Structure 1
Amino acid sequence: MNRVLHYFSEALTHRLEQRKWLEEHQFLVGDLHNHCNISYGHGDLEDAIAFAAEQLDFFSVTGHFAWPDMEEGTIPPEVQAYHREGFARLRTQWSHYNQLLERASERCISFPSYEFHSFQAGDYTIIHKNLGIALPDPPPRFKKDERLMKLLDSTDASKDELFCMPHHIGYKQGYRGIGWEFFHAQASPVIEIVSMHGSAESLEASPKYLHTMGPRSGMNTMQGGLSLGHRFGVVGSSDHHNASPGSYGCGRTGLWSTDRNREAIWAGLSSRQTLALTGDPIELMVFLNDNPMGSGYDFPGDGIVSLDAYVAGYTVMDRIEILKNNRVIHRVHPSDNQHTQHMERGFLDVTFGWGEKHSLCQWEAAITIEKGIIRSASPRLRGEDIVDPLDNSDNERIIPHFTSTRNTASLTVVTRGNPTATTDATQGFALEIEGSEQSVVHIHAKGFWHEELHYLEASYLLSSLSCTSRVAYLNGFVSPAVSISQFHPIEQCIGEVHTEVNAQPGDFFYARAFTNNGDCAWSSPCWVR
């Protein structure tokens, strides 16, 4: 997909280098760090692979592998025990893991990975380019485990076909947050800055760190690392522990790639042509004097550089910000854009869920557009969140399934009600629709709830959704419901920035975008050499 090239064709008419670059790239979405029961976690590997295939282009499922300095912390014996059991389980599952990942790549490009915990250096996911790798040998008995430190010191991601990705970097060092003194850009082209742990773009970033492991701390953020002079790209991962790669709202990676294959994806990751996303596949691209994000640019003689940014969202874009050396220097608000009164192109959110807490409803639903066209669609599928690896899920697993055609989007999914009044456990999708005032949105749904099958049908003129949303309940008060959002005109869901800025060697720039529904996107930086 490359909606940026389509939406901003006029702006790119006179920016030929940028147009050429965009014509050679497509936008992909992945999740390189998440878990299931191959180590400690929940859900089968088969389920994780099936879940990934519903909404991702590439993925990994990560095995918990080792914790070299575990005994140096004040960890209760029972917590140490389940970690050791998980590490041992991974070795018994590794052959099966390799076999299933090989088959998975026929639908969704898979990369093998395993994870080191570390109080000292912070946690790292070791991601390999090629399938069928062997796990490293256990360390010699009664000797200190130096395997992670050796990887960080010696890996060259451009040659070794693996890289070491720090994750949940925001925790305090000594509490599994990143130790910047052990970070090497050669080994780690990208850093995971957002996951179900929260966002570590900055100390004020949303979502907050609310996990049991603690709050964000000091310089352990994207901005902290950049201010120390480190160079890296940024990604998001779900870090989900229940076989749900790409679970909506937990974290994903956006990638500009020349193709949807292993070689091209790996090259894009290594070149830092990446975004950190919370949920929606917001296409964000930044050029510094026509050089793409993730790259360096030689200092210009006059000290002036042009900066161009393009953002294509799936709902109303609240703001787009350009940062220089961690300070906002430019801000636009696409949500303020005026739009034409006649219906042409825009976005609808379709959401299923609500009802009594922990009350399962199995949905089969279809949205059909009459006298209109579905131009693109983006599923918003969530796995059941389990934050503590020792927690359990009593719910039978049903993998969601989403499809879309020129006129119809279909979803089979289970909703459970929201576990708290501030926790979103809904399921759904976003649709880009091209239509007119005569277009009609039809919904046909059935839901199996409380051991009974209920039916729901409704139709709405697209023009009636221009200033309001619609809601339908499956079976009365506190039953599950469906929400059809207000129709959002495309002018309010996309945005661009074209500006000239002063620059000096060592300066860095990046962009971030925020939507009205809480989704965020952060670009990898560009540097002035």
Structure 2
Amino acid sequence: MKLLWGDLHNHCGITYGFGSLENALEAAKEQLDFCAIIGHAMWPDMPKRSAELEFLVDFHLEGFAKLRTNWESVRETIKEWNVPGQFVTLQGYEIHSSEFGDHHILSPSDEIPLVTAESPAKLVAALAPYQVIAVPHHVGYTPGYRGMNWDAFSEHISPVVEVFSKHGCSMSDSSPYAYLHTMGPRDSRNTIVHAIQRGKRFGFAGSTDHHAGYPGSYGDGRVAVLAAEKTREAVWEALLARRTYAITGDKIACHFTVNGAIFGSEVKDIGSRQLQLEVTACDGIEKITIFKNGKPWALANGTSSISPITSVPAKGKYKVRVELGWGDNEQGYEWQANAHLDSGKIISIETCFRGRSVLAPTPGMRENPNMNALGNKLISSTETGAQWSCTTFKNATTLHPQTAALIFEIEGDSSSVLTVEANGSTFAYSIGELLTGSRSVHMKPHNSEAILFHRAVPVSEYVFNGEWTDTEKEHDVDAYHVEIKQWNGQFAWISPVFVIA
């Protein structure tokens, strides 16, 4: 099986998001294997219209009507973009619910109709002739206030739950990425850890919930699935089997088993539990936490990024992240860049492209179907170089980046030099120099766009293999899941393996 990367929950102008559907699909295809573009379809228990809630109610109703009017066209476009072996699309739409929490339904069927229902469960029942699941998202909000209703949760219709998105992280009330949207804060009663401790069984997914038509927008949430091939059928089978995990942005490759059973599985207890974990990260690994029944059970600390590395093997593998952005351009700064490695070879390149930072409409936003046509593209790549284009924006706040990056995995040595030419300026640094720390350069004298060559990370610090043994049964079903944290604050949360007594 192979790891595939996707976004199961992205919005664009087909309802009250922004940007065209075609641009969204093009952006997804550039750096993902599969995606679902979700239209907002209904809110059965929406608050009544009042002077205070006029904008809220109106933009929802207008968005719902827009999707109904264009449903056949939307469905047909998504169908056309599904090409087995190249790029996979799924159909779906969203139901809001104050009582049950928001869900988006997903289906591999291009015939799925747009119907309304009073709850997520009733919506799935109404779509019984089709293959359908309902994915709860931003579950950590207050119960009864668009947060998850775990009393009504059914693993039969929701094999996976979205645990991270642009809304934040719902793993626990002390997890990174707090909820800061106008919908409110996290409530511990609705977190993923609390649900696991209540005995709920599901897999983890990350997705963007991005409203400007940019699936997989870096840092806003993505999902990994372990699938037999890149087809709808294989991705769908992986979702039903819960062979999934959530990532914030970096494509952290993970393999986690308990007694040989892969993440998402249920396995019978044989008295001893052998846990195995393999990780290939995209930055230095800071910490790995194994959770048992929602509580930290084992820790593995990585190396520190504080002390520079001054001695390296004569030859080895390294990851170097080249990041572009900053400046004060709110309309978008266009980059044309290429890189060249003078010795050694480039093993792989990972793109970290973002869309405009939009989570929900605000009064006065002007609809622009091309706001998500950013030209973010890895144009070409070889063992010695790459060419790419991208658009970056002024960072939304000092805590919300709008940069773009490429991660180069390089096989070379300390004398290997990576040269980057961007918008007519050329910069070059050796692996040896970058092992001592990062280097930044600017494009103009003031409030300037900039390029950052991150600290080079040797393979010993981004690859991890670990084994643990557990012999203690705590419950009739014990759940083991994993959290991985990199130096740069990017995370992965691996779906549980459930050990059944």
TM-score bracket for the superposition, by shorter chain length:
over 0.9
**Given residue 324 of structure 1, which amino acid in structure 2 is its aligned partner?**
K
Q: Which of 100, 104, 112 is equivalent to 1:133?
A: 112
Any conservation in 2 of the 1:31–1:252 contact (CA below 8 Å)?
yes
Q: Which of 494, 498, 501 is equivalent to 2:467?
A: 498
User: After superposition, where does 1:335-354 map in structure 2 within 5 Å?
Assistant: 335=303, 340-354=312-326
Q: Which of 87, 96, 107 is equivalent to 2:73?
A: 96
Alignment correspondent of 1:8: none
What is the Cα deviation at residue 386 of structure 1?
1.5
Alignment correspondent of 1:20: none
Q: Could you tell me how far apart the structure 1 residues matched to 2:8 and 2:107 are?
A: 10
**Given residue 418 of structure 1, which amino acid in structure 2 is its aligned partner?**
N
What runs of 5+ residues in structure 1 fail to find an aligned partner? 1-24, 139-144, 447-454
**Residue 77 (structure 2) pairs with residue 77 (structure 1):** no
Alignment correspondent of 1:460: 429
**Given residue 508 of structure 1, which amino acid in structure 2 is its aligned partner?**
A
Q: Could you tell me how far apart the structure 2 residues matched to 1:72 and 1:294 are?
A: 40
**Residue 361 (structure 2) pairs with residue 389 (structure 1):** yes
Alignment correspondent of 2:118: 146
Alignment correspondent of 1:33: 9
Q: Could you tell me how far apart the structure 1 residues matched to 2:127 and 2:76 are?
A: 26
User: After superposition, where does 1:74-223 map in structure 2 within 5 Å?
Assistant: 76-106=53-83, 107-136=86-115, 138=116, 145-146=117-118, 148-151=120-123, 160-223=130-193
Superposed CA deviations along residues 299-322 of structure 1, whole A, max 9, x for unmatched, are 21xx32111111111111101111
Alignment correspondent of 1:289: 259
What is the Cα deviation at residue 148 of structure 1?
2.9
Q: Could you tell me how far apart the structure 2 residues matched to 1:336 and 1:425 are?
A: 26
Q: Which of 385, 401, 418 is equivalent to 1:408?
A: 385
Any conservation in 1 of the 2:167–2:180 contact (CA below 8 Å)?
yes
Given the superposition, is the C-alpha separation of residues 508 and 499 from structure 1 closer, same or farther in structure 2, using an over 3 Å criterion? same
Given the superposition, is the C-alpha separation of residues 422 and 216 from structure 1 closer, same or farther in structure 2, using an over 3 Å criterion? same
What runs of 5+ residues in structure 2 fail to find an aligned partner? none
What is the Cα deviation at residue 132 of structure 1?
3.9
What is the Cα deviation at residue 406 of structure 1?
1.9
What is the Cα deviation at residue 343 of structure 1?
4.1
Alignment correspondent of 1:451: none
Given the superposition, is the C-alpha separation of residues 194 and 522 from structure 1 closer, same or farther in structure 2, using an over 3 Å criterion? same
Q: Could you tell me how far apart the structure 2 residues matched to 1:480 and 1:78 are?
A: 36
Given the superposition, is the C-alpha separation of residues 296 and 73 from structure 1 closer, same or farther in structure 2, using an over 3 Å criterion? farther
**Higher mean C-alpha displacement, 78-87 vs 52-61:** 78-87
Any conservation in 1 of the 2:325–2:403 contact (CA below 8 Å)?
yes
**Residue 31 (structure 2) pairs with residue 66 (structure 1):** no
Any conservation in 1 of the 2:172–2:188 contact (CA below 8 Å)?
no
Superposed CA deviations along residues 373-422 of structure 1, whole A, max 9, x for unmatched, are 11112111111111331252689542311243322222211112213222
**Residue 296 (structure 2) pairs with residue 319 (structure 1):** no
Alignment correspondent of 2:277: 309
Alignment correspondent of 1:12: none
- Paired residue secondary structure (1:184): coil
Any conservation in 1 of the 2:337–2:388 contact (CA below 8 Å)?
yes
Any conservation in 2 of the 1:155–1:187 contact (CA below 8 Å)?
no
Q: Which of 9, 30, 45 is equivalent to 1:54?
A: 30
Q: Could you tell me how far apart the structure 1 residues matched to 2:209 and 2:387 are?
A: 27
Given the superposition, is the C-alpha separation of residues 468 and 147 from structure 1 closer, same or farther in structure 2, using an over 3 Å criterion? closer
What is the Cα deviation at residue 357 of structure 1?
4.8
- Paired residue secondary structure (1:79): helix
What is the Cα deviation at residue 155 of structure 1?
7.7
**Higher mean C-alpha displacement, 73-82 vs 353-362:** 73-82
Alignment correspondent of 1:476: 445
Alignment correspondent of 1:373: 345
Q: Could you tell me how far apart the structure 1 residues matched to 2:466 and 2:127 are?
A: 37
**Higher mean C-alpha displacement, 504-513 vs 71-80:** 71-80
Q: Could you tell me how far apart the structure 2 residues matched to 1:113 and 1:192 are?
A: 15
Q: Could you tell me how far apart the structure 2 residues matched to 1:119 and 1:477 are?
A: 48
Aligned length: 486
**Higher mean C-alpha displacement, 412-421 vs 482-491:** 412-421
TM-score (norm 2): 0.93
TM-score (norm 1): 0.88
Q: Could you tell me how far apart the structure 2 residues matched to 1:443 and 1:514 are?
A: 29
Q: Which of 42, 45, 51 is equivalent to 2:21?
A: 45
**Given residue 120 of structure 1, which amino acid in structure 2 is its aligned partner?**
E
Q: Could you tell me how far apart the structure 2 residues matched to 1:382 and 1:271 are?
A: 30
Alignment correspondent of 1:516: 487
Q: Could you tell me how far apart the structure 1 residues matched to 2:471 and 2:45 are?
A: 46
Any conservation in 2 of the 1:152–1:184 contact (CA below 8 Å)?
no
Any conservation in 2 of the 1:257–1:268 contact (CA below 8 Å)?
yes
Q: Which of 458, 481, 487 is equivalent to 1:489?
A: 458
**Given residue 58 of structure 1, which amino acid in structure 2 is its aligned partner?**
F
Given the superposition, is the C-alpha separation of residues 84 and 154 from structure 1 closer, same or farther in structure 2, using an over 3 Å criterion? closer
- Paired residue secondary structure (1:458): strand
- Paired residue secondary structure (2:105): strand
**Residue 400 (structure 2) pairs with residue 436 (structure 1):** no
**Given residue 474 of structure 1, which amino acid in structure 2 is its aligned partner?**
M
Any conservation in 2 of the 1:503–1:528 contact (CA below 8 Å)?
no
Alignment correspondent of 1:450: none
Q: Could you tell me how far apart the structure 2 residues matched to 1:36 and 1:242 are?
A: 5
**Residue 395 (structure 2) pairs with residue 426 (structure 1):** no
Q: Could you tell me how far apart the structure 2 residues matched to 1:206 and 1:153 are?
A: 36
**Given residue 221 of structure 1, which amino acid in structure 2 is its aligned partner?**
T
What is the Cα deviation at residue 71 of structure 1?
3.8
What is the Cα deviation at residue 469 of structure 1?
1.8
Given the superposition, is the C-alpha separation of residues 271 and 121 from structure 1 closer, same or farther in structure 2, using an over 3 Å criterion? same
Given the superposition, is the C-alpha separation of residues 310 and 250 from structure 1 closer, same or farther in structure 2, using an over 3 Å criterion? same
Given the superposition, is the C-alpha separation of residues 160 and 299 from structure 1 closer, same or farther in structure 2, using an over 3 Å criterion? farther
Q: Which of 327, 330, 340 is equivalent to 1:355?
A: 327
What is the Cα deviation at residue 351 of structure 1?
0.3
Q: Could you tell me how far apart the structure 2 residues matched to 1:103 and 1:117 are?
A: 28
- The percent of aligned pairs where both chains have the same amino acid is 32
**Given residue 351 of structure 1, which amino acid in structure 2 is its aligned partner?**
E
**Given residue 376 of structure 2, which amino acid in structure 1 is its aligned partner?**
P
Any conservation in 2 of the 1:152–1:182 contact (CA below 8 Å)?
no
Q: Could you tell me how far apart the structure 2 residues matched to 1:496 and 1:461 are?
A: 29
Q: Could you tell me how far apart the structure 2 residues matched to 1:192 and 1:486 are?
A: 32
